[in-house]
Structure 1
Amino acid sequence: MNLQSYQKLVAQFCKLPGIGAKTAQRLAYHVLKMPEAEVKQFAVDMYDARRRVKYCKICGNLCEGEVCEVCEDPRRDHSLICVVKDARDVFAIEKTHEYRGLYHVLGGTISPLEGVGPDDIAIDQLLARLGGEVKEVILATNPDVQGEATAAYISRLLGGYDIKISRIAHGIPIGAELEYADEITLAKALEGRTSV
């Protein structure tokens, strides 16, 4: 079958991260079954989000103005900055309702194999925010090779500042069984143990 419009739609869905050919075909087929008005609104909403959503000029989080809601909130603890890879991590931490400090979004992690070095992420912007009220920087990058390398690099840079540097704990998730945990996760859980 030579359905060019359908094939073009599938190709567009394939460009999205984590979407393979089969999923792209299912999504395209779903769009074709939707009422025309819904499809049009979907397209308008995508375009509108792309046009309106920006990065906060202070922390790099997503926002629709110049500054995000977190940075604008006077009730947040300005002595704490939690460093994360991207805005998705901010959303994940905010869902816990436990953290009341500020954020700094790096926009990636150091990955020499992918050609991403320290100058390619927002480390200089983080350093510019230090001083004054900041008393602690929490490194909350992912516990993978790139996240650990980024955390170690930032930790070395911050060594010259008079602030506390901490790393989020890693280990066994609630509800998991030890026998199914990998060696690295178990090692991190033992390393990050706390008193009871």
Structure 2
Amino acid sequence: MAASPVGPEIERLIAALSRLPGLGPRSARRAALALIKKKESLLLPLAEAARQAAEAARICSECGNIDSRDPCSICADPSRDASTIVVVEDVGDLWALERAAATKARYHVLGGVLAPLDGIGPEELNIAGLIARAAAPEVCEVILAVNATVEGQTTAHYLTDELASSGVKVTRLAHGVPVGGELDYLDEGTLAAAMRQRTAF
């Protein structure tokens, strides 16, 4: 086995980067090289930002969002619609909806989806917290914004059953043709869902 061309400190940086989603060993090496080449403008500010984020990051005790405060900025915002809770699988989904400015509702992060084969049951997810929040008198609707995967839909059905006794309206995101999408490029499942969920024009 050939000796490493770099020292152990740089190897640790590459190894840490390679654990990030979407970065394999080769991409991590390229990223590490780019950071080191621009040490003053990239690497040092990144290291300081990472240190500060590690110290400040908190998981919101109400919704499960990640912020530098608890409750998070969204839960603490009095202008948010307290009558609606949008349920998402992960914090990344919450952030995506916020970037799109899709809603002014409050959120609830499950922390994953039901996947019995992987040992993920209701106890491993933040479902009990959702049931408790949905029972609040001001809550009228729960929107299930889970992914259109088998696990996501299984989770949605489970949550619908669990919320049935709360009296809240349970809805889910529409599935189908994306804005700007061309039918010829869509998969059969998306087309079938779009046809089933067609609306009046």
What TM-score range do you get, normalising by the shorter chain? Answer: over 0.9
1:24-72 residue CA offsets vs partner (Å, 9 max, x unmatched): 1110111220134742331121121122111111111112111111111
**2:154 maps to 1:126:** no
Residue in 2 aligned with 1:153? 158
What TM-score do you get using the length of structure 2 for normalisation?
0.91
The answer to whether the 8 Å contact 2:134/2:142 transfers is no
Residue in 1 aligned with 2:43? 39
- The CA deviation at 1:98 is 3.3
Residue in 2 aligned with 1:165? 170
Separation in structure 2 between the aligned mates of residue 24 and residue 114 of structure 1, nearest angstrom: 28
Separation in structure 2 between the aligned mates of residue 172 and residue 114 of structure 1, nearest angstrom: 31
Q: Which stretches in structure 2 are left out of the alignment for 5+ residues?
A: none
Residue in 2 aligned with 1:101? 105
Partner residue of 2:183 out of 169, 178, 184: 178
Identity %: 40
Q: Which stretches in structure 1 are left out of the alignment for 5+ residues?
A: none
**2:62 maps to 1:58:** yes
Deviates more, 1:150-159 or 1:112-121: 112-121
Separation in structure 1 between the aligned mates of residue 78 and residue 40 of structure 2, nearest angstrom: 44
Separation in structure 1 between the aligned mates of residue 54 and residue 188 of structure 2, nearest angstrom: 41
Determine helix, strand or coil for the equivalent of 2:74.
helix
- The CA deviation at 1:22 is 1.5
Matched residue pairs, number? Answer: 196
- Amino acid of the residue matched to residue 185 of structure 1? T
Residue in 2 aligned with 1:192? 197
- Amino acid of the residue matched to residue 46 of structure 1? A
Residue in 2 aligned with 1:91? 95
Q: How does 1:2-13 map to 2 (within 5 A)?
A: 2=4, 3-5=6-8, 6-13=10-17
- Amino acid of the residue matched to residue 154 of structure 2? A
What TM-score do you get using the length of structure 1 for normalisation?
0.94
- Amino acid of the residue matched to residue 58 of structure 1? E
Instruction: Check 1:184–1:38 CA distance in 2 against 1; reply closer, same or farther (3 A cut).
Output: closer
- The CA deviation at 1:136 is 0.4
Separation in structure 2 between the aligned mates of residue 4 and residue 187 of structure 1, nearest angstrom: 54
- Amino acid of the residue matched to residue 187 of structure 1? A
- Amino acid of the residue matched to residue 107 of structure 2? Y
**2:81 maps to 1:77:** yes
- Amino acid of the residue matched to residue 14 of structure 2? V
